[in-house]
A and B are shown apart, each in its own frame.
Chain A
């Protein structure tokens, strides 16, 4: 039993890491032409080009965007998830459907349609980006938190209340720690939405917010700078991967 679990975990690690191998090779390749199995010349040209293209400030912008979206979408998703897990919401299916609708609509059409509305309302472009991406992240946080609340036993908080805790304290000291793994998972997904978006950031943001996905897309649309694209892609993939491991460890500790 333990052996098969370990084998499964190893298989998962290989599954996740294998696609990164060519990326890592490309990132360190100054020259790699077929049919060579390995790069003919190693170097840091890709890194240099990526830095010259503005990878540094772009990752900062991506991080801030991801964090802001996570900070907004996680509590909103928790509230919506909690309400939907209970029985107090009328027409629950319809409400859930409305919350999930961003998953169904093509993001390109949504971005373009709402772009005009936001421009008409004179909403600053960075606020518009955060607003739209938060809405796009809500389905993930809501569904995750709804499941967590459905499995959550409110008895623990009632226990705390009978022992004299205020309602606020019961939530902060009892409910939140118990739901922390789910909250971390929801925040991770919301962060990913902000971190990896292209269409909304470019069109609604009006090009003012040059994030990593914008650099990756424009660099990848050409030939001859595979090393730079590889470095930029690794820069986009590794932070979420590290976060995923962190969230996983947090979940296992409990």
Chain B
């Protein structure tokens, strides 16, 4: 999911300058503690505006054709607002919060990482509701991916929607003997000049790739502390930038230019200009292969040391006027039926956040009946040795360091 942190900061500055007033209190408002039946009763007849990144056709179709009709049965009208950048939704919520609006136009946001962290700092999200959703009983309370979103505690301020796993992808027709570790990938790139590149940070995916290389060059997962500190940065970052600078001449176009986004890298891969691409959403791969965008020989490259994993969430803005309806939709989205429907590659193919061990027999069977993809291995295999994401505070310093040390030394 693209992020809009820089724009949100610009937005904050513009708000203060043009509206000429102080920021509102940043502590997050909390939801009223009440029986679920009361929430259901209040939700009846409400219209919930779900703002979500519109670049994923399958995701939009799932919301329109599967989730919205199910919400309608509960008396809630679900309306999808497509945005090109999740930061747009946050910008709107911050404006509403600044203006003291309590019946705002954003009721749910598909969010994670920096946008969540930025909103959390500004008190943009309603808290103390997500852990009370009835369907929450089917998630593992100790699942680290659900309790922390890029190092920022979730604490009932957003409800999990699905899981993602950083994944390298290669064309098996062109790379018959793929590497098995990140260090191996870098060596392979060096040995095959012009056949590999990565999106330039601060692109979301390029930025993850850089953190993944960081983990590799310092000796593996767990070496770099999740919490950011200047000392840790000074200790670990130089080795990362040295390695990437050494790699640069062997990149696509000699590293003189980088793709600006994952989408651009995907196009290079689709056109056969490079032999590998990467994504934080491997679920979409099956579709890209099926519609001919990617070659049929596209395969997922699993790394021995594992890769970063995370979950994305539905957050409920503190300015929403339809928060009961939004909670009902978030609970519905967490139900075994909806999670199984969404996990079907023919629908959207997103990994579930539920713990299959906690499900009833019939519900578990629905997940086990999902078709296997020739391209994307099952989540258990993909997420083997999954590493929790570094804190969101790491992101900006690493992106900026990359710009100064690798892009324009």
Contact = CB atoms under 8 A, between A and B. Distances in A.
A219 B272 CA distance: 23
Interface stretch (B35-43, B163-171, B262-270): B262-270
A221 B7 contact: no
Interface stretch (A67-75, A111-119, A145-153, A184-192): A111-119
Contacts of B14: 108-109, 112-113
B104 interface: yes
A187 B106 CA distance: 33
A33 B91 contact: no
Interface residues of A, number: 38
A52 interface: yes
A22 interface: no
A202 B19 CA distance: 19
Contacts of A35: 271-272
A34 B54 CA distance: 25
Interface string B47-83: 0010101111100110000000000000000000111
A166 B196 CA distance: 77
Interface in B86-100: 88-89, 91-92, 95-96, 98-100
Contact of B10 (A108, A202, A217): A108
Contacts of B291: 31, 224
A125 B81 CA distance: 15
Interface string A23-35: 0000000010111
Interface in A192-213: 202-203, 206-208, 210
A117 B81 CA distance: 23
A120 B293 CA distance: 47
B11 interface: yes
A112 B60 CA distance: 27
Contact of A203 (B88, B272, B273): B88
Instruction: Specify which of A35, A110, A113, A228 lies most central, judged by the most chain B CB atoms within 10 Å of its CB.
Output: A113
Given A33-B293, A116-B95, A119-B101, A210 B82 contact: yes
B321 to A, nearest CB: 11
Most A CB within 10 A of own CB, among B15, B92, B271: B92
A48 B109 CA distance: 27
A230 to B, nearest CB: 14
A203 B49 CA distance: 14
B25 interface: no
Task: Give the size range of B's interface with the partner.
Answer: 35 or more
A206 B61 contact: no
Contact of A34 (B89, B95, B266, B270): B270
Interface string B1-30: 010000100110011011100000000000
Contacts of A218: 53-55, 82-84
The binding surface of chain A is classed by DSSP as helix
B322 interface: no
Given A33-B293, A35-B272, A223-B288, A113 B18 contact: yes
B292 interface: yes
A114 to B, nearest CB: 7
A215 interface: yes
A49 interface: yes
A212 to B, nearest CB: 12
Contact of A221 (B49, B54, B95): B54
A206 B54 contact: no
B105 interface: yes
B392 to A, nearest CB: 21
B85 A208 contact: no
A100 interface: no
A161 B111 CA distance: 66
B293 A223 contact: yes
B363 interface: no
Given A206-B106, A207-B105, A207-B106, A115 B270 contact: no
Interface string B292-304: 1100000000000
Interface in A202-254: 202-203, 206-208, 210, 214-215, 217-225, 228
A228 B58 CA distance: 13
B287 interface: yes
B99 A112 contact: no
24 contacts: A33-B292, A53-B57, A108-B11, A109-B14, A113-B19, A114-B18, A116-B15, A116-B18, A119-B95, A202-B92, A203-B92, A210-B81, A217-B84, A218-B83, A219-B82, A221-B53, A221-B54, A221-B263, A222-B56, A222-B57, A223-B262, A223-B270, A225-B57, A228-B57
The 5 A-B pairs of least Cβ separation, nearest first, read A113-B18, A218-B54, A222-B55, A206-B105, A34-B271
Given A119-B98, A223-B262, 15 more contacts: A33-B270, A33-B271, A34-B271, A115-B99, A116-B15, A120-B99, A125-B105, A203-B92, A207-B49, A207-B106, A221-B84, A222-B56, A223-B288, A224-B266, A224-B287
